[in-house]
Amino acid sequence: MKLFVDANMLVRCVAGLAWQHADALRERGVALAVTERQVKEALSVLIHRIGMSVEHAEAELFQILLPFELVPADEYRHQERAARARLVPNAGDDWHCLAGALALDSHIWTSDRDFFGVGVPVWSTANLRHLAGVGHG
């Protein structure tokens, strides 16, 4: 199983609220993937909403990303139209994550309700606790 990880989950990993789940999933053979767009969005949130310095945010995020597969846009761009059509109009750049999941027959890990009902399996952290074998967090 491959999970595309939305930007909000990357931020939660940096904050220590989801990293144990990501690590446990990887240990159980679940591949974690992310698009460059999700990385940029997470970095922006860490800097502009949480208040980290650019250097600190980059260091923390890139440490978290070491075990992730970074999926380049050319591997999912052909699914852009389908992804945009499935998302609500105000979903912004979430189409990158959905297009990646569509292109690579993957699931999505998010806390964003915009992904529910878009035609791919969507997991919240609460749903993944059982699969990952970890407690609350």
Residues 80-119 have pLDDT tens digits of: 999 999 998 877 789 999 999 999 999 999 988 889 889 9
What pTM was computed for the model? 0.89
Give strand ranges (E) for the chain. 2-5, 31-35, 69-71, 107-109, 122-123
Q: Which residue, among 42, 37, 32, has the nearest Cα to 62 in the 3D structure?
A: 42
For the cut 80, the answer to whether the pLDDT of residue 132 exceeds it is: no
How does pLDDT run across 16-46, given as a tens digit for each residue? 888 888 888 888 889 999 999 999 999 999 9
Q: What is the CA radius of gyration of the chain?
A: 14
How does pLDDT run across 1-20, given as a tens digit for each residue? 899 999 999 999 999 888 88
* β partners of residue 4: 33, 108
Q: Which residue, among 116, 86, 117, 91, has the nearest Cα to 37 in the 3D structure?
A: 91
For 2-132, CATH number? 3.40.50.1010
The pLDDT of residue 137 = 46
Q: Residue 24, Cβ neighbours under 10 Å: how many?
A: 16
Q: State how far the Cα of 9 lies from the Cα of 78, in Å rounded to an integer.
A: 25
